[in-house]
Structure 1
Amino acid sequence: MASWNSIPLEITYQVLGWIAFASWTIAGYPQVILNFRRKSVVGWNFDFVVLNITKQSFYLIYNATLYFSSAVQKQYFDKYGHGEMIPVAANDVAFSTHIVLLNLFGLFQIATYERGGQSVSKITLGIVSVVYLTAGVCFFIALPTHSWLWMISVFNSIQVFLASIKYTPQVFMNFKRKSTDGFSIGNILLDFSGGIANCAQMTVQSLDQNSWKNFYGNTGKILLALVK
């Protein structure tokens, strides 16, 4: 695995990564705080919640596997070159872990607070079912040859797809109700800031290594930053 050529760029990379982590992490709290204060989840679309926790779970699997598994890292280097760095940083794993736990707490709030008759739509249940079925098929395809990099790359693509559609039910619900009551919009700017920091982090790594392979080696991360 390659090492950093410039200490200032390495420091910049770490700083930008943790800025993205902080922005995206803090962005998740206004909603759970709002739910707690109101003792209600009315106005928080459950389809969004289900799509989001599914998306974040797949992102966690991708990040943690590529960051911790030496076998998957070897497959990455065999594909993209042994002079490359893996395109996942500690802040990516930390964010994914934290946001999954925060989403689980959100599910707990849904189970305990006033729901106002809201439920998960059949469309969302269908989408999630197809997603998990696809993941299961990919696992059994990858199992004989241990093609784990391919499998988690598919998972990464799945989470980008879910990220691109997850807000749609919430937007439609807000439009139908002509209100955003119950939905915290304070996370939008933080999401945007995190996306910029994330893109900048990957750019810094590419500049240091004089290679842009980390972008197409982790297209999910850059696409996530753009659609977040």
Structure 2
Amino acid sequence: MSATDLKLFARVLSDISGWLYFALWSLSFYPQPLLNHRRRTTTGLTPDFPLLNVFGFTCYTLATAALLYSPAIRKQYAARHPSAPEPTVRFNDLAFGVHAWVLCAITFSQFWPSLWGWKPVKDVTRRPNAITLTILSASLLAIVLVTFLVLTETNDHPNQWAWLDVIYTLGYTKLLLTIFKYTPQVHSNFRRRSTAGWSIHQVLLDFGGGVLSMLQLVIDSALQADWSGLTGNPAKFGLANISLGFDVIFLVQHYVLYGPVERGQGGGEGGDGRDLSKRDGVGFEVVDGERRPLLPTSR
């Protein structure tokens, strides 16, 4: 196979990987709102996750659109990366961001049951924790600060403050929010010793999408013969790696530490929220979606 054939094969593989990751990552946003709708409650899901997702994907979509379509941003990118002047961003990245934002907004709206015709549930927490609110405020402040520095910059040198830095700030903000959006849910599962209310199907799809997203980014950087394409697209590179790390944690929680628990019509994957099974076979009983020891523990 000639070098030209190899490059053509790599480009085709990159396109296939990109649209497959788009499909898997996009599908990963459906199980949670569908699960909430079947159970008619958001019990077991923290509001921090969809709220940080909405803000994060706003940043991701804006950054991706600018790298794709803004001549000024692309010119500044080429000046910063002369050996690989083409951003490793594809249209499927933008399509994913827009679609994800819509689904995350829908999921967040489900914390207000009256909008969906559900009966209010007392133990549903709608207010994000103080750490989440602080992170959102700090992220917004950082974006405003970098924008101000760019507006006051008079030098056009590539290493000076430029609009590309605002785009990078949006990308790094998305990465920061990705870390913190998963943390409350990991803690909630640990505290409840249960993954009830948290869709494992979402995690499985997210894991597959993360692998394919990384594959496309590696192929595109290899085609440019310059690995700075990885660092030049921090949002995509970091998003895939962080998501994969937390997906592994959720998979261990669900399949090793706290389940899976066989349920009837209720529980973590559907129904009206009632668990019809009594025991999960490993010394626990299931009560209202949570695993509790069959034998009393000493205090």
TM superposition score normalised by structure 2: 0.71
- Provide the aligned C-alpha RMSD in A: 1.9
Letter in 2 for 1:6: K
AA partner of residue 131 (structure 2): I
Mean alpha-carbon deviation: is it higher for 165-174 or for 137-146? Answer: 137-146
State the SS of the aligned residue for 2:95: helix
In 2, Cα distance between equivalents of 1:82 and 1:211: 7
Which residue of structure 2 aligns with residue 185 of structure 1? 200
| C-alpha displacement of 1:80 | 0.6
Structure scoring higher RCO (CA < 8 A, sep ≥ 6) equals 1
Corresponding position of 2:144? 136
Give the Å deviation of 1:144. 3.6
Distance in 2, matches of 1:46 and 1:39, equals 15
Aligned twin of 1:226: 241
Equivalent position of 1:86 in the other structure: 87
The CA deviation at 1:210 is 1.7
1:204 aligns with 2:212: no
Which portions of structure 1, spanning 4 or more consecutive aligned residues, are displaced by more than 3 angstroms? none
CA distance in 2, matches of 1:152, 1:35: 34
Q: Distance in 2 between the 1:20 and 1:133 partners?
A: 32
Report the AA paired with residue 74 of structure 1. K
Structure 2 distance, partners of 1:75, 1:179, is 48
How far apart are the structure 2 equivalents of 1:110 and 1:157?
Answer: 28
1:178-204 deviation line (CA, Å, top 9, x unaligned): 222221121222212111111111121
Q: How does 1:67-82 map to 2 (within 5 A)?
A: 67-81=68-82
Aligned to 2:297: none
Which sits farther off after the overlay, 152-161 or 116-125?
116-125
Partner of 1:157: 172
**Offset, 1:168:** 0.9
Alpha-carbon spacing, 1:83–1:211, altered in 2? closer, same or farther (3 Å): closer
Equivalence for 1:49: 50
Corresponding residue of 1:122: 130
What's the counterpart of residue 34 of structure 2? 33
Normalized against structure 1, the TM-score is what? 0.91
Do the aligned residues in 1 keep the contact of 2:63 with 2:168 (CA within 8 Å)? yes
Distance 1:175 1:82, change over 3 A: closer
Q: Structure 2 unaligned runs (5+)?
A: 1-5, 154-160, 244-299
Report how far residue 54 of structure 1 moved: 1.8
Gaps of 5+ in 1: none
172-181 vs 87-96, which moves further: 172-181
Give the greater-gyration-radius structure (CA).
2
Say which of 174, 185, 192 aligns to 2:189: 174
Where does residue 24 of structure 2 map in the other structure? 23
Task: Give the Cα separation in 2 of the matches to 1:150 and 1:123.
Answer: 26
Whether the 8 Å contact between 2:132 and 2:180 is mirrored in structure 1 is no
Aligned-residue offset at 1:82? 7.0
Mapped to 1, the partners of 2:193 and 2:225 lie a distance apart of: 50
Higher helix share: 1
The superposition leaves residues 31-86 of structure 1 with CA deviations (integer Å, 9 ceiling, x where unpaired) of: 01001111111111011222222222211111111111111011101111275321
Counterparts of 1:180 and 1:83, CA distance in 2: 44
Distance 1:53 1:205 in 2: 28
- Percent of aligned positions that are identical: 33
1:181 and 1:196 map into 2 onto residues whose CA distance is 26
Residues matched between the structures, number: 225
Distance in 2 separating the partners of 1:67 and 1:15: 19
Match of 2:283 in 1: none
Q: Tell me how far 1:172 sits from its aligned partner.
A: 1.1
Give, as a single letter, the amino acid of the residue that structure 1 aligns with 2:174: Q
Any idea what SS the aligned residue of 1:42 has? coil
Matched to 1:126, the amino acid is: T
